Amino acid sequence: MTGTYRPMPEGQLQDFDVRVSRLEHRLAELERPTGTQVAETVATIDDLEALQIVPSANVNQGTGFTMSTTMTTRATFNFTVPDGFTRALIVASGFVYSGTATAGGDRIYGNVRIGASDGPESIAFMTSTMLLGGVSAFHAVLLTGLSDGQVIAVATRARLQTGPGDAAFNAASTATVAGTALFLK
């Protein structure tokens, strides 16, 4: 054959169309969910509706403290577990600003503690010409096995590497902690 083709006779094309239509109908029938599949889908939706999430948020600030070389809570607040909830996803951030009396400068370290879980320490440098510094820290945890009314403390903590803190900056020392909790059943 050199580039020619013969069209399908009219009757055969109609027969082909009918067969494709029947196959499409059978495929649609096979893809239709069974009664069991429909019931499972409804059960899954009911399960999702039964999942309850209770959000909570809080913030607090501490001021006028003297820094030392011991990691110490500078600002804190509590979340209380609602009745019937056993898990919590908590995300928190903190910031500490303070000064040092160390002539050569110092380092300020900070972290966020959620319950008994300490987040990583962040560090900021206070140079010998600028004896003030601030540090931000973040932490997130998923707590399980919680009980009704349990209190979960969230805190911003900080320390100096060398210390001591400068008494002239005590009034300006500021710490902030903010957090969000999603309580889950």
- 107 shares its domain with 65: yes
Looking at the structure, tell me whether residues 60 and 146 fall in a common domain: yes
| CATH number of the domain enclosing 151 | 2.60.120
- Kind of pairing, strands 151-160 and 72-80? antiparallel
What are the pLDDT digits (tens) for 148-185? 999 999 999 999 888 766 666 777 889 999 999 999 98
Q: What is the pTM of this model?
A: 0.70
Domain of residue 132, residue span: 53-184
**Residue that has been written with the tokens 């209770």 in this structure:** 54
Confidence (pLDDT) at 14: 73
Let me know: does 51 contact 163? Beta carbons within 8 Å.
Answer: no
Question: What is the reported pLDDT for 98?
Answer: 85
Give CA separation, 55 vs 105, 116, 165, 184, in Å: 42, 21, 38, 9
Q: Tell me which of 8 and 87 has the higher pLDDT.
A: 87
- ∠ CA 61-64-69, nearest 5°, is 95
- How many structural domains does the chain have? 2
CA atoms within 13 A on the CB side of 143: 26
Q: What is the pLDDT of residue 18?
A: 80
pLDDT score of 87: 94
Same domain, 46 and 115: no
